Structure 1
């Protein structure tokens, strides 16, 4: 959430943009490259971390929850926490694999990771092709024998987050490809309805806090990512959800400004703005005129 305790600078600020306060906790338990003999095996086990296993060379037999995968060089496995798994050589010859175990507390990423029921991605799959550049760079980090310098550590973490972002994008795309087009139509309609209710409720109740509910919250409520929400809505209505929200807010603002008994401060509050200056700047961006000038033009 946005920090509502930030200094009020409306008397001095001409224009400003705020990114949301991001809180993500990442615990990387291990990340390693291992070259093993053909007789090597790891006994059946489970753990509470997510695991990414990428086969660099050779052949690996990997059993997850009773399903056995014959993993070839270049194939990728995504293993959920709590899944029982066992791995060994697939042909009794040496093989090399890269593996990382992690836990992440992120309100947008976790539903995407947990919503996938696919484990195995062959080397020619879209998922593997897209994450491979990140995996290769992480493999290089893993091969460093000395402790990482601060800059290396930050670059490694950056690569990890890019890997997670790429995985999330592809999992979302997979979900989109599997959904019936009619369901996308229904979702787009539901998004529009929730945006309309958002504007209506703001008018009735006023702003609840500085960061009133928005498009990302609507997407989370529907169990989809903001990017997916944007794609299906734009495909149906030819504008983005945020543009639709802005158009409804502008329409509501114009309607309220026609009511002379309402002060402009009150109109701003009914639209969802705590500060008149912020509302005035936004209205001018929408229309090219200030709220006062607009009111004068329609009432003269």
Structure 2
């Protein structure tokens, strides 16, 4: 046999990928999703029928049937049905530990890709294949991940061409590490926002940068301060636990960094407009879009 490749040893390669909170849903006129953020997850939202308003950051998009919305990790967003007709959509959230993909996505994602856009033409059949596979056999993980990896590969290839000549974002890795540190503090109940505990100083020290630099880079990259992100995570984690677990409100308060249930309840009322107990009673089906932190 000729043209054999030279002898070479390649490093061990390991990758983790997660598909979370994937669903189809039909919602009535007047419905609103509520502004939220997914900590390290990408989101794909495909409108199957009807029209919705997608709000990514401060930009509004009218999303019609066949239009595709891509949401970057850490991007504040909301969906609203401003007309009177029902709207049906398919949503998939996924996490993949590929720093090159993260950077390309963050640099090039424009949010809305309307029907007829080259990226829409490329991705919608792949999104539909994934949806079909979920309906046919959602337990066949190898098949599902094959569809998802195909979608990610095509998306990365497209963004790689779009990003030719651009420098990768210099501060994306540091911003990512800051976000992960904040997430860890929420999970470990060490994220108290009370006076006397400068958690951002601790994060800055761990990462070997100044507190000021840490704050500036994070806000520049994600459009919110580290404290704003911390409070968003606390709010979403509290909402998720209230409707998806049987833990006491006192235990939930402690798990997200509050010393007592009274402080947590006051903060929750300022967030949501009702007490944790009332939210648990009245909102059992309203937080499908929220993705809990992995403990």
TM-score of the pair, normalised by structure 2:
0.50
From the superposition, tell whether residues 42 and 138 of structure 1 become closer, same or farther in structure 2 (CA, over 3 Å). same
From the superposition, tell whether residues 14 and 142 of structure 1 become closer, same or farther in structure 2 (CA, over 3 Å). closer
Contact kept in structure 2, 1:63 and 1:85, CA below 8 Å: yes
Contact kept in structure 2, 1:33 and 1:143, CA below 8 Å: no
After superposing the two structures, state which structure 1 stretch, 113-122 or 124-133, moved more.
113-122
In the alignment, is residue 38 of structure 1 matched against residue 26 of structure 2?
A: no
The answer for unaligned runs of 5 or more in structure 2 is 168-295
Q: Which residue of 1 aligns with 2:16?
A: 25
C-alpha displacement at 1:95, in angstroms?
A: 1.0
C-alpha displacement at 1:108, in angstroms?
A: 2.9
Q: Give the Cα separation in 1 of the matches to 2:155 and 2:79.
A: 23
Contact kept in structure 1, 2:68 and 2:124, CA below 8 Å: no
C-alpha displacement at 1:126, in angstroms?
A: 0.8
Contact kept in structure 2, 1:23 and 1:106, CA below 8 Å: no
Q: Which residue of 1 aligns with 2:83?
A: 91
C-alpha displacement at 1:20, in angstroms?
A: 5.5
Equivalent residues, number? 163
From the superposition, tell whether residues 17 and 142 of structure 1 become closer, same or farther in structure 2 (CA, over 3 Å). same
Q: Give the alignment partner of residue 165 of structure 1, picking from 139, 153, 158.
A: 153
Cα-to-partner distance string for 1:247-282 (whole Å, 9 max, x where unaligned): xxxxxxxxxxxxxxxxxxxxxxxxxxxxxxxxxxxx
C-alpha displacement at 1:110, in angstroms?
A: 2.0
Q: Which residue of 1 aligns with 2:263?
A: none
Q: Give the alignment partner of residue 60 of structure 1, picking from 48, 52, 60.
A: 52
Cα-to-partner distance string for 1:231-260 (whole Å, 9 max, x where unaligned): xxxxxxxxxxxxxxxxxxxxxxxxxxxxxx
2:74 counterpart SS class: coil
1:112 counterpart SS class: helix
TM-score of the pair, normalised by structure 1:
0.50
Q: Give the Cα separation in 2 of the matches to 1:166 and 1:19.
A: 24
Q: Which residue of 2 aligns with 1:175?
A: 163
The structure with more radius of gyration: 1
Q: Give the Cα separation in 2 of the matches to 1:133 and 1:19.
A: 34
Q: Give the Cα separation in 1 of the matches to 2:90 and 2:115.
A: 14
Contact kept in structure 2, 1:70 and 1:90, CA below 8 Å: no
Q: Give the Cα separation in 1 of the matches to 2:106 and 2:71.
A: 10
Q: Give the Cα separation in 2 of the matches to 1:119 and 1:70.
A: 11
C-alpha displacement at 1:17, in angstroms?
A: 6.5
From the superposition, tell whether residues 107 and 14 of structure 1 become closer, same or farther in structure 2 (CA, over 3 Å). closer
